[in-house]
Structure 1
């Protein structure tokens, strides 16, 4: 189970989870040794190995003050047995209200108070409070939030604030140092270190298909409450936003690459939303097993190959439908690039942008077809589409 990392404190975790079994408890976590090393921002002792501290301590001292704690509260109504029947009969029975509190992380990117965090940290919040490392706290206003990327921009009214520089996630390779700063389980300004374990982890691989991100994987220890906090490189630059963990695993965490964050946060800051290009198809990687299943199902089309990306469905009134794409088409290339994975197609759609033509070559019943598709803005309530 993948868990998004918002928490309400040490004893009670408010976890936004997708599928799977129940979450690992704090007690169970405390009995399992962590793979990553935890480092504080205090001066190293004379006996501490300098090699372990030389990279991390300067980074924490330089940018740690720009990492913030984000506290939220939201009012929810508890369900009351029989309430629906009473309401149907015209008896308005007030339901008791409960205030839920949560804690996440974030980091300051501009001296006048722009803060980046996860969308699930502030989702549904009635109040947002941003707490700085020095104890100052400010009311926060959610400028924009995007559930597809799980990113949000919060603004506080302040000046001369510390900031963190943003790096380049496209330059990352597995094995590089990774430093996480955040507020896991409400423990403020916690620092852990590890490495970049992998890049370009697809949403299908980690089980959160409603997102549209190619994640970074890290073994730096992150836990509920780290959500929205920065993942840093050895230069003290943000390379990702810590977002999710796999429950029951050790040293498997995921972060949104900072290059994605730059694009999304820029749109959120200027217009409060993100426009995603889409073409309106459901697709899958073709395998001999899938081909056999399609043949048995008699879906009205024939497949003559065992590899490629097959279009399973073309949604009506979408760019793909208007371009003449059909279920059963096997996508061979996009804009002259040979296609080997579903991720490649999504990347090509994103790179093309809204309103610009994509040249797509498909194999239809063994014959090559050329299609010109113009991506449009993804509707507000999308289905799972490419």
Structure 2
């Protein structure tokens, strides 16, 4: 469902997550050293061998590092997926871990090994969480790729337990990049996602999206479904969305370091339901934070922001997604409308929570 240039999508907890593909290496000037790819698990000795750069080969070598995340209590339903990174940490979605944390979290490896886990840090705004394992086993950590290097048509793989079917592998392509999405949920923010047609269903939440080298380029999180509502009752229609690795890696590193994730902020409240083209600042006193970036740049309640630097802004949700690609302290140019006149101004972005 489209809303003023921003897709409203459903989160997909309820089973195991999916594994998402890593990015291809970028080319540079001159001769570069050949990319040997990340270190991956050896396939089971009893399994028929496949070339490591095939779908089957990547699935064999990455699957041991993808885990199912469930409750330590047998009476608590639901769950999701995650993947092991360096240091025996597990990355997953916040909407997976937050539903399980109170009763205790237990993860299951692909070989059936179990370990209890605790939440190291979580960021509802980005829908990411990091878990620490009490009894980790020896698997190769997955590496983050560079989602900025992904292009439409790149092949990707999702591995997880959709609808509770553990070890499921699906394959597809990157259908779009920089897709602005607004996940359903009170605390989840707006951001640009990777869109894929690899089958993702409830239970794929928190798994990685990998390329044919096995690097993580995204964290599966959301889907659009047909029908009157968007949720777990309906299945995949080829519209799945993953948090790009460029954002995920930054957030994960800050969570491990026990630092809160911070985002660029403009210091104004937007009317996210306005049909007006552009980001409409709420036309009420206090909608522009006194002393904040917007106030310092001369913006007022009722102003409509139409451009951020050279990018057109179609809605308040889209502007919030654009700000996720910026850092506190960045200086940007804004174009806005007021009383029929167009004004251009520079603004130094603040930080969320300031």
What's the TM-score bracket when you normalise by the shorter of the two chains?
0.7 to 0.9
Q: Are the structure 2 counterparts of residues 3 and 309 from structure 1 closer, same or farther at C-alpha, using a change threshold of 3 Å?
A: closer
CA distance in 1: counterparts of 2:221 and 2:11, whole angstroms = 6
CA distance in 1: counterparts of 2:141 and 2:353, whole angstroms = 33
Give the corresponding residue for 1:353: 327
Residue 142 (structure 1) aligned to one of 119, 123, 128: 119
In the alignment, is the contact (CA less than 8 A) between 1:196 and 1:216 conserved in 2?
Answer: yes
Matched residue of 2:59: which SS? helix
Once superposed, what is the RMSD of the aligned Cα atoms? Answer: 3.5
TM superposition score normalised by structure 2: 0.72
- Does residue 1:203 correspond to 2:178, yes or no? no
CA distance in 2: counterparts of 1:121 and 1:348, whole angstroms = 25
Q: Aligned residue pairs: how many?
A: 300
- Does residue 1:103 correspond to 2:79, yes or no? yes
In the alignment, is the contact (CA less than 8 A) between 2:71 and 2:77 conserved in 1?
Answer: yes
In the alignment, is the contact (CA less than 8 A) between 2:69 and 2:106 conserved in 1?
Answer: yes
Q: CA deviation at 1:310?
A: 4.6
In the alignment, is the contact (CA less than 8 A) between 1:329 and 1:364 conserved in 2?
Answer: yes
Give the corresponding residue for 2:88: 113
- Does residue 1:123 correspond to 2:83, yes or no? no
Q: CA deviation at 1:332?
A: 5.8
Range with greater deviation from structure 2 (157-166 or 130-139): 157-166
Q: CA deviation at 1:114?
A: 0.7
In the alignment, is the contact (CA less than 8 A) between 1:284 and 1:310 conserved in 2?
Answer: yes
Q: CA deviation at 1:325?
A: 1.1
Q: CA deviation at 1:363?
A: 4.5
Q: Are the structure 2 counterparts of residues 142 and 60 from structure 1 closer, same or farther at C-alpha, using a change threshold of 3 Å?
A: same
- Does residue 1:320 correspond to 2:294, yes or no? yes
Q: CA deviation at 1:356?
A: 5.2
In the alignment, is the contact (CA less than 8 A) between 1:360 and 1:370 conserved in 2?
Answer: yes
Give the corresponding residue for 2:141: 163
- Does residue 1:62 correspond to 2:36, yes or no? no
Matched residue of 1:201: which SS? strand
After superposition, what is the alpha-carbon deviation per residue over 1:86-112, rounded to whole angstroms, capped at 9, x for unaligned? xxxxxxxxxxxx9423221100011x3
In the alignment, is the contact (CA less than 8 A) between 2:88 and 2:132 conserved in 1?
Answer: yes
Give the corresponding residue for 2:158: 180
Give the corresponding residue for 2:343: 368
After superposition, what is the alpha-carbon deviation per residue over 1:7-66, rounded to whole angstroms, capped at 9, x for unaligned? 269xxxxxxxxxxxxxxxxxxxxxxxxxxxxxx999569xxxx99x96201111222111
Q: Are the structure 2 counterparts of residues 195 and 371 from structure 1 closer, same or farther at C-alpha, using a change threshold of 3 Å?
A: closer
Matched residue of 1:60: which SS? helix
Q: Are the structure 2 counterparts of residues 114 and 197 from structure 1 closer, same or farther at C-alpha, using a change threshold of 3 Å?
A: same
Q: Are the structure 2 counterparts of residues 99 and 280 from structure 1 closer, same or farther at C-alpha, using a change threshold of 3 Å?
A: farther
In the alignment, is the contact (CA less than 8 A) between 2:209 and 2:218 conserved in 1?
Answer: yes
Matched residue of 2:77: which SS? strand
CA distance in 2: counterparts of 1:352 and 1:236, whole angstroms = 28
Q: Are the structure 2 counterparts of residues 43 and 378 from structure 1 closer, same or farther at C-alpha, using a change threshold of 3 Å?
A: same
Give the corresponding residue for 2:11: 4
From the two aligned structures, give the one with the greater helix fraction.
1
Q: CA deviation at 1:345?
A: 4.4
CA distance in 2: counterparts of 1:128 and 1:184, whole angstroms = 18
Matched residue of 1:140: which SS? strand
Q: Are the structure 2 counterparts of residues 61 and 136 from structure 1 closer, same or farther at C-alpha, using a change threshold of 3 Å?
A: same
TM superposition score normalised by structure 1: 0.67
Higher relative contact order (CA 8 A, sep 6+): 2
Matched residue of 2:191: which SS? coil
- Does residue 1:340 correspond to 2:347, yes or no? no
Give the corresponding residue for 1:212: 190
Q: CA deviation at 1:187?
A: 1.7
Residue 204 (structure 2) aligned to one of 216, 226, 239: 226
Q: Which structure: larger Rg?
A: 1
